[in-house]
Amino acid sequence: MKCRYAFELALSLEKLNYDKLSLLWEMMEKEADPQAVHFVEYMLEQQAADIKQMADYVTQLRRVGKGHGVWHWDKQMYDGEPSYTAYAGPDSG
């Protein structure tokens, strides 16, 4: 549970960062600074990818439950192995 809670907090922080970058982007748009707008757009793209990854981790931790499932998930993360994937149904290959 503590592991999942930590990842949920990290996800909240990633979302907060995205919101603040969005406000910065709006300000740069009003100032008509195309270079800054482009730079902030790049940062927003990266932040969106980070949010997606963190949300995937939270979902995976919810699925594995408590105990050995969390330990196994953590070990896979440490070993750099591919993480769990969502079940897409019987027709997925």
* Arithmetic mean of pLDDT, 48-67: 86
pTM for the model stands at 0.73
Question: Is 92 a member of any domain?
Answer: no
Question: What pLDDT is stored for residue 92 in this prediction?
Answer: 39
Average pLDDT across the chain, whole number: 81
* Count of domains forming the chain: 1
Yes or no: say if 78 and 52 are a contact pair by the CB < 8 Å rule. Answer: no
Structural domain that includes position 59: 2-79
Question: Is 55 a member of any domain?
Answer: yes
Yes or no: say if 60 and 6 are a contact pair by the CB < 8 Å rule. Answer: no
Question: Is 54 a member of any domain?
Answer: yes
Question: What pLDDT is stored for residue 84 in this prediction?
Answer: 55
Question: Is 30 a member of any domain?
Answer: yes
73 burial (CB, 10 Å; 0-12 / 13-18 / 19+) is: buried
**pLDDT tens, residue by residue, 22-50:** 999 999 889 888 898 899 999 999 999 99
Please report, for the domain that includes residue 19, its CATH number. Answer: 1.20.1260.10
